[in-house]
Each structure stands twice: as structure tokens, then as C-alpha cells.
């Protein structure tokens, strides 16, 4: 019998690992009602946003794309979320960032040290996953991209998940690898249904440093660097390119190290929500079983 592995973070009465600005705590309450002479209790959860914990982004998550993809989440065929997936190990991409964080994942750089801050910002560029990176990994493990339903990026960052809120620049969980434009094109060409990551987002983390008020962009050189990167991201980012081609994105997955670089059978079906306008994102409890 194959082992089935849950790769989701549970929802608790606590904030998910998030930015301080988006702190939300699900609140549980109960309602009672009588029917057929029996009293029933029905639970109700408030503040349960559809991008809390493990979830999947749809094209409608970006307002400019939502108008082009008006169908609700429940209108997607169920086979879009089920099939063979490769768990691609890219945790080595994080090695250049290791010197900047302490053993509990907090940023250890003095924000007054312009040289160190600039070296951190430049190290973020090394988080990029290129088309060649994907091709080389697929070659090593004899994986054919066109045979996959989806691709999941293993980074090891889910080990930093905490039920706490942080400033976006201060915690390791928010510094995730991201795909280059040619890597996105490669996934599109091979007609993948979805891509996922065991981190806060599949995006260049520099987007979280917008604004002069953030300590991490205290220095003028850092501001210029961030401004340059943001101008590039305005022209290209993973969400816009992938969702624009209806390749869906799973975020905040919880991937155990023992299944990295394995082919797995994957299921990540969201609820059958056909509410008008419900096309942005949805909570999900995905699971996998390793293919022998």
C-alpha cells in the first residue's frame, strides 16, 4: 500500500506565517438549531481568507487577469488538480542567503551596514531558477517535462513556517527561489497545469521591499537597487506570466525532505465553489503518494 502524505499546513486559531500587514486569525463560533426534534450544532469560521495557509492561486488573483478568466473556481475540471508531479529540489539556491540569517531564521544583518545590506540584496538574485536549471535536474532524474501535470519546487523553507506574523524583510520564510522568464516559458511550452512551492510565494522576494519606509531599503544605494528590480518585475513576474497562461500556483506547501526529487501522484482539489466572482484563490489540502 502506498503511503499518502499530507503536504498542507493546518489552519489553527492563530495567524498563518505572514507579513505583519496581513495578520488574520480565523475565529470559530457555533450556532444551534432544532430540526426533527433534535438540536444540531453548526460551526462557523470568520476571518478564514482563501489565501490562508496552503492555497492555490487562480488567474483571478490578479485583477487585470480576472476579467479575462471570469470562470469560478468550481468550473475548473477536476483533472486540472490531479496527476503526476515532480518534486524538484532547489534548496541549494538558498545557500547564498544563509550568512544573513541566524539559527531561528531572523535577519542577522545590521541594517546600518550598507555594504552588508547591498550584498544581501544582490544575493537574492541568485535565488533565480532558470530553464537550464530545470532541464539539468530533469535530465539527472530522467524526467520528461511534457509528461508532468505539475511541478513542485522544494526549497526547505517550510521548515521555517511559524504561526506568527513578521515583517516581510526580517524572516527567512519570505526569501524564496523564483522562476526566470525562460523557466516560465518552458513550463508553458510543456503545458503544465500547475506549479507549486513550499514557501510564502513563487515570486522574487524583492517585491516585498517596496517603499522607502522599510528599514531594509534605508540606504540610497539599496533604494536604487530595489527600484531597478521593481521596474523589471513590473514587466515580468511569475504570477503574471503563469496565471496569464492559466498555469495555477500552489503556495505554502509543506514538503518533507524525503520526497524531494521524486515523481509523485498528486491531488490538490479545491472546494467546488461556483459563487459569482469566486475566481481568485482557494484553500486546499493537497496530498501525494510516491511513485515507485
142-167 residue pLDDT tens:
999 999 999 999 999 999 999 999 98
Contacts of 13 (CB under 8 A, 6+ apart): 25, 26, 27, 28
| 175 neighbors 94 (Cβ within 8 angstroms) | yes
SS3 assignment, position 114: helix
What's the pLDDT band for 66 if we cut at 50, 70, 90? low
Distance in angstroms (rounded) separating the CA atoms of residues 114 and 170? 16
What's the pLDDT band for 234 if we cut at 50, 70, 90? confident
User: In this predicted structure, what is the pLDDT of residue 216?
Assistant: 73
Length of the chain: 292
Q: Locate 163 and state its grid cell.
A: 504561526
User: In this predicted structure, what is the pLDDT of residue 22?
Assistant: 73
Nearest to 175, CA basis, from 283, 111, 98? 98
| 289 neighbors 265 (Cβ within 8 angstroms) | yes
CA dihedral 111, 116, 118, 122 (to 10 degrees): -130
Least confident window among 127-131, 201-205, 211-215: 211-215
Distance in angstroms (rounded) separating the CA atoms of residues 90 and 178? 10
Residue % of the chain over a pLDDT of 70 = 97
Domains of the chain: 4-15+49-290 (3.50.30.50)
Distance in angstroms (rounded) separating the CA atoms of residues 163 and 171? 13
User: In this predicted structure, what is the pLDDT of residue 1?
Assistant: 62
Distance in angstroms (rounded) separating the CA atoms of residues 34 and 283? 30
CA dihedral 45, 11, 201, 6 (to 10 degrees): -130
195-205 residue pLDDT tens:
999 999 999 99
Distance in angstroms (rounded) separating the CA atoms of residues 223 and 215? 10
Q: Locate 86 and state its grid cell.
A: 515532480
Amino acid at each position: 500500500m502506498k503511503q499518502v502524505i499530507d503536504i498542507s499546513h493546518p489552519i489553527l486559531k492563530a495567524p498563518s506565517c505572514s507579513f505583519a500587514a496581513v495578520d488574520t486569525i480565523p475565529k470559530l463560533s457555533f450556532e444551534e438549531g432544532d430540526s426533527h426534534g433534535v438540536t444540531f450544532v453548526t460551526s462557523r469560521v470568520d476571518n478564514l481568507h482563501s489565501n490562508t495557509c496552503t492555497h492555490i492561486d487562480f488567474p483571478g488573483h490578479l485583477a487585470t487577469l480576472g476579467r479575462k478568466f471570469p470562470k469560478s473556481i468550481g468550473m475548473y475540471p477536476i483533472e486540472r488538480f490531479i496527476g503526476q508531479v515532480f518534486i524538484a529540489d532547489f534548496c541549494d539556491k538558498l545557500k547564498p542567503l544563509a550568512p544573513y540569517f541566524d539559527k531561528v531564521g531572523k535577519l542577522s544583518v545590521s541594517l546600518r551596514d550598507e555594504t552588508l545590506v547591498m550584498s544581501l540584496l544582490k544575493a537574492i538574485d541568485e535565488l533565480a531558477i532558470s530553464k537550464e536549471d530545470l532541464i539539468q535536474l530533469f535530465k539527472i532524474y530522467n524526467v520528461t517535462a511534457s509528461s508532468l501535470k505539475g511541478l513542485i519546487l522544494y526549497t526547505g523553507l517550510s521548515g521555517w513556517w511559524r504561526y506568527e506574523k513578521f515583517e516581510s524583510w526580517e524572516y527567512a520564510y519570505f526569501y524564496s527561489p523564483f522562476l526566470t522568464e525562460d523557466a516560465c516559458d518552458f513550463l508553458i511550452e510543456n503545458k503544465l497545469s500547475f506549479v507549486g512551492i513550499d514557501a510564502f510565494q513563487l515570486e522574487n522576494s524583492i517585491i516585498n521591499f517596496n517603499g522607502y519606509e522599510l528599514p531594509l531599503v534605508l540606504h540610497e544605494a539599496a533604494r536604487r537597487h530595489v527600484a531597478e528590480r521593481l521596474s523589471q518585475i513590473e514587466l515580468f513576474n511569475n504570477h503574471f506570466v503563469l496565471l496569464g497562461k492559466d498555469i495555477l500556483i500552489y503556495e505554502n506547501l509543506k514538503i518533507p525532505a524525503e520526497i524531494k526529487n521524486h515523481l509523485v501522484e498528486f491531488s490538490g482539489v479545491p472546494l467546488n465553489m461556483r459563487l459569482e466572482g469566486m475566481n481568485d484563490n482557494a484553500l486546499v489540502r493537497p496530498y501525494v503518494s510516491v511513485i515507485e
